[in-house]
Amino acid sequence: MWEVIQNRQVLFGNGKAALIPGLVKQATEKKAFVLAFSETAPCVVSLLEALKAAGIDYVLDASLRGEPSTIDIDRIAQKTEGCGAVLAIGGGSVMDAAKAVAMLATNGGSVVDYQMNGKPIDKPTLPLIACPTTSGTGSEASKVSVVYNPDNGLKKSFYSPYMIADTVVLDPVLTAGMPEAVTVSTGVDALSHAIESYVSLNATPYTEMYSLQSMKLVVKSLKRCVERPDDLEARGDMSLASYFGGCALNAGIGLDHIIAQPLGGITHIPHGVACAIFLPHAMEYNLEYATKKYCDIARVFGAVGEDGLALAREGIARVRAFLKALNAPDSIRPWLPADFELEKAVDIVVGATGHIKCNPRPVTREIIRDTIAKVI
């Protein structure tokens, strides 16, 4: 038995962002709350001008710098009074923050109530329109918000079916200006979503379909995006890879994300970079528990052969080669703070993600510690 939580409307194509004013008008007759990654970025400026031209009043917040904290969410949510919808323009941090802000606007309280104390989200959020400007997190497709809690050092997710964006606008033009480092980091995040969801114990025919298609698009087009940043066909492929990877996350994540997500709160390493570092190690750990599916993944990367451990290992080798060709890091050492303690880091990882049980091979505290130790 399984269920699907998915956006009501998805628009894809070059120039589709021009439809946003009309979408906002459909969502509310009140002011719009706009959460953006920048106040001066050309794509944000043009969208704000389009809202003004359509006679739409809005409140803008462009204060987020990096991944959102509980303090950020509570502060930003206070600005939503009198607003009838939320428009999110940015990457995964903006998307995660927008989902949480839209939820607090109708459910009230502090985000900590929901993240740490299990308070139920029992009211629909403000209508949310998600317009991603990066390609990888898949946050625009999910019901999950990941927020850093400075009180306990945890980077922890919370979620609700109410929190999924009503409308997603995938406009590759908005992603064409991404720097190379962001292109790689977010693109590898999409790849890790696809691989981990595909081998998840909770995978379904629905998620497997999205997982495989996301992988194929990343393999086809991520390197092209790096080599030709303005290649809109490749950017479009990566926009879809991100979205499809987000849809596949209905199956859950595995060892790679179990470590990478909370480790970001400790080291402030970019999430996609952490995923790149831990992904091959997670695949090796799971090899004998998901051999057939790793053979499928190997074929996506161009390997041939009969199902078996040899082909599965070849798939892992090809993933490593793919990451190396992108100049993705293979160690967390450059991001380790001076006071880093491995055992304390393991405590935080277990505290933040100990509830995740869909990795194909059981994950223990010892495995978490040993996997982190391999990349220090």
Domain holding 281, by residue range, is: 180-374
Rg (the chain; Cα; Å):
20
CA angle 236, 39, 68 (to 5 degrees): 80
Say how many C-beta atoms besides its own lie within 10 A of residue 49's C-beta. 11
Residues 164, 199 within the same domain: no
Residues 207, 136 within the same domain: no
User: Measured between alpha carbons, how far is 145 from 76 in angstroms, rounded to an integer?
Assistant: 15
Domain edge (last residue) among 133, 159, 175: 175
Residues 235, 208 within the same domain: yes
Residues 107, 195 within the same domain: no
Residues 199, 119 within the same domain: no
Residue 186 CB contacts under 8 Å (≥ 6 apart), including other chains = 91, 92, 134, 135, 136, 137, 178, 242, 272
Residue 102 carries which side chain, given as an amino acid letter?
A
- For residue 362, give the CATH number of its domain: 1.20.1090.10
Task: State CA 352 to chain mean position distance.
Answer: 17
User: Measured between alpha carbons, how far is 359 from 100 in angstroms, rounded to an integer?
Assistant: 26
State the total domains in the chain. Answer: 2
Q: Are strands 144-149 and 154-159 parallel, antiparallel or unpaired?
A: antiparallel
Residues forming beta bridges with residue 31, ordered by sequence position: 83
CA angle 62, 91, 46 (to 5 degrees): 55
Domain edge (last residue) among 121, 149, 175: 175
HSE-up of 160 (CA within 13 Å, CB side)? 19
In a domain, 3, yes or no: no
Could you give the angle at which helices 20-27 and 42-53 cross, rounded to 10 degrees?
60
Alpha-carbon separation of residue 209 from 222, 228, 255 (angstroms): 20, 28, 21
In a domain, 148, yes or no: yes
Q: Can you give the pTM of this predicted structure?
A: 0.96
Q: Which residues of 162-199 are buried (b: 16+ CB within 10 A; e: fewer)?
A: bbbbbbbbbbbbbbbebeeebbbbbbbbbbbbbbbbbb
Alpha-carbon separation of residue 261 from 54, 147, 185, 315 (angstroms): 40, 10, 14, 24
Say how many C-beta atoms besides its own lie within 10 A of residue 280's C-beta. 18
pLDDT along the chain (376 residues), means of 10: 91 98 98 97 97 98 94 98 98 97 98 96 98 97 94 90 98 94 97 98 97 98 97 98 97 96 91 97 98 98 97 98 97 95 95 92 97 97
Residue with tokens 């909370």: 262
Could you give the angle at which helices 92-107 and 70-77 cross, rounded to 10 degrees?
50
User: Measured between alpha carbons, how far is 5 from 363 in angstroms, rounded to an integer?
Assistant: 27
Residues 168, 184 within the same domain: no
Residues 101, 194 within the same domain: no
Residues 203, 292 within the same domain: yes
Residues 194, 324 within the same domain: yes
In a domain, 4, yes or no: no
User: Measured between alpha carbons, how far is 202 from 253 in angstroms, rounded to an integer?
Assistant: 9
Domain edge (last residue) among 118, 141, 175: 175
In a domain, 135, yes or no: yes
User: Measured between alpha carbons, how far is 104 from 140 in angstroms, rounded to an integer?
Assistant: 18
Percentages (nearest 5) of helix, strand, coil residues in the chain: 55, 10, 30
Q: Are 80 and 61 in contact (CB under 8 A)?
A: no
